Amino acid sequence: MTDQKEIKCVVWDLDNTLWDGVLIEGDDLRLKPGIIDVIKTLDQRGILHSIASKNDYGDAMQKLREFKVDNYFLYPEINWSAKSKSIATIRENLNIGMDTFMFIDDEPYERDEVRSEHPDVICMESSKYSELPSYPSLNPRFITKDSKKRRLMYLQDQERKRDETAFVGPRKEFLSSLHIHLTIREAVLEDLKRAEELTVRTNQLNATGKTYSYDELKMYMTSTGHRLMVCEMIDKYGSYGTIGLALVEILNDYYHINLLLMSCRVMSLGIGTILLTHIMREARKEGKKVRADFKHTGRNRTMYVTFKFANFREVMTGSKELIIFENNLDAIQKFPPYVNISIK
Amino acid sequence: MNINDKIRTFIESNLLAFDDDLTINDDDNIFESGFVDSSVAMQLVLFVEEEFSIHVTDEDLDLVNFSSINRIVRFIQQKEQQWNSSHEGR
């Protein structure tokens, strides 16, 4: 991984940034020349787009629909509040790190306001939009089938969240109504690009914060001393693609989990625990216990809780603040009833 | 509301993964009995921290402290006592 953090979402201003003219002044608005190609190009690379604009929501969305570009923007924030606040709301909805955002606005004042509240956000002057596709931070190393579908998957998430908020009744019933189907299987060559992408993109749900390259993953996949597992998920809204990854080292007495990670899009569904249960069952079949590497990164506390509440105990601290967890397999949690699980 | 009621209300309104007609006893293991699924464990921890202004350390993150309403209550009381005794006389 390079030092240059990959941008996951570009947040656009509208007036004099996406289009020439000011909506509220009744100007004859025109999209900036070539800007749609820029947006589409980034979209195909799996980079998301959103909006932070001070305008009337209805009027602005109407205009975006007329230009046939409304579908490119996730969780648009079109209102009169500070843009730093809009970006915070978008970040919350997308559940990605603040340091993966780029903000584009023609007003220096707006860029300064965002910068002062969120120093990690890259703020750009709007006149440079045509150069965006050549920026290294907007060129992910791999473009996988999951990255091309990313916007669509987030649109499904948006729908899912709306339905969850509107759902009346126990949470279990809502989860059952999703018809979640999870497949856990050994990785094959075609999975490795996405697997690398997951290690690079995942911060909150990565047990060690470590990233793995394609070649490293390929080595582990073919090694007889290791198992590399992937999880794929589908529900009634569509496919989530590959959302989980585990690298297990097979030792004499232990299954040692070197890497466990989940896409943050499935954070609320307990997939981490399901994958742990699967690994524990596999280890028990061979009469082995389970150990796991963990390292606090400041962002992955959810993973720590996942291990501890699955009965893992800290047994030693290795070098570089690495924690080793152990589970003696006295109690293995059951799979939750609302997920249909296939093991292949 | 006392601590017990606050915890119960939170579990019932946010984490409940069980049928409406089941009741939850103060000593029921909320993880084993399927009242709480693993996905919401983190929400439970964050709720305890925010509602009672407690810092839950790595050592505290243990099912012993979180597996039933009574255990969560006891854990919160212990943390509050620790805090009070360390600030006595200041």
Domains and CATH numbers, chain B: 3-18+26-86 (1.10.1200.10)
Interface subset of B 15-74, CB within 8 angstroms of A:
15-20, 31, 34, 37-42, 45, 58, 61-63, 66
DSSP-derived pairing of the beta strands A226-235 and A77-78? unpaired
Q: Does A145 touch chain B (CB under 8 A)?
A: no
* Structural domains in chain A, sorted by start: 9-138 (3.40.50.1000), 145-343 (3.40.630.30)
pLDDT in tens, A166-212: 887 777 778 888 999 999 999 999 999 999 988 988 877 889 988 99
| C-alpha distance from B82 to closest chain A C-alpha (Å) | 23
pLDDT digits (tens), chain B, 90 positions: 788 888 888 887 766 555 555 678 888 888 776 666 666 788 889 999 999 999 999 999 988 899 899 999 999 999 988 888 887 665
| A268-281 per-position pLDDT tens digit | 778 888 999 999 99
Residue A178 corresponds to which tokens in the numbers above? Answer: 């999703």
Q: Is A309 on the interface with B (CB under 8 A)?
A: yes
State pTM to two decimals: 0.80
In sequence order, which residues have a C-beta less than 8 Å from that of residue B71 and are 6 or more positions away?
B64, B65
**Chain B residues with CB inside 8 Å of A311's CB?**
63
Report how far apart, in Å, the C-alpha atoms of B36 and of each of A119, A219, A307, B25 are: 38, 39, 16, 13
Cα angle B9-B13-B14, degrees, rounded to a multiple of 5: 115
Residue B13 touches partner A, C-beta closer than 8 Å: no
Q: Do A296 and A244 touch, CB atoms closer than 8 A? A: no
Paired with A257 in beta bridges are A248, A292
**φ and ψ at A202, to 5 degrees?**
-95, 120
ipTM score for this prediction: 0.86
Across-strand partners of A291? A256, A326
Distances in Å between the Cα of B37 and the Cα atoms of A174, A207, B9 are: 13, 20, 16
